[in-house]
């Protein structure tokens, strides 16, 4: 199963952006498929931003990810 993870755009440089996945995890991803701006939330899959999310949708998804990770930790 392939999953996409929300992240907040912190810097854009052409087709590449630095995104913050939270918890200090910042990565560079390709944003050529979407119109992402600094401050936007994007859905990231395999190093590509595949969708821009509104803030409410991103926060809901992040909360679900947090629940999943906490349940796996026991």
- Among all chains, which residue has been given the structure tokens 């929300």? 6
- Neighbouring residues of 28: CB distance < 8 A, sequence distance ≥ 6: 16, 17, 18, 19
Counting residues of the chain whose pLDDT is more than 90, the rounded percentage is 69
The mean of the pLDDT values for the chain is: 93
Counting residues of the chain whose pLDDT is more than 70, the rounded percentage is 97
Dihedral pair phi/psi, residue 73, rounded to 5°? -75, -15
Any idea where the domains of the chain sit in the sequence?
Answer: 5-71
Per-residue pLDDT tens for 59-69?
Answer: 898 888 888 88
- Among all chains, which residue has been given the structure tokens 């912190």? 10
As a whole number, mean pLDDT of residues 42-56 equals 96
pLDDT the model gives residue 31: 99
- pLDDT of residue 15 exceeding 80, the answer is yes
User: Rounded to an integer, what distance in angstroms lies between the CA atom of residue 58 and that of residue 43?
Assistant: 8
CATH code for 5-71? 2.30.30.140
């Amino acid at each position: 199963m392939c999953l996409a993870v929300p992240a907040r755009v912190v810097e854009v440089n052409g087709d590449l952006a630095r995104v913050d996945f939270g918890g200090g995890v910042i990565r560079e991803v390709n944003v050529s498929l979407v119109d992402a701006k600094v401050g936007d939330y994007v859905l990231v899959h395999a190093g590509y931003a595949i969708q821009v999310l509104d803030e409410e949708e991103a926060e809901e998804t992040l909360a679900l990810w947090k629940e999943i990770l906490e349940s796996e930790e026991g």
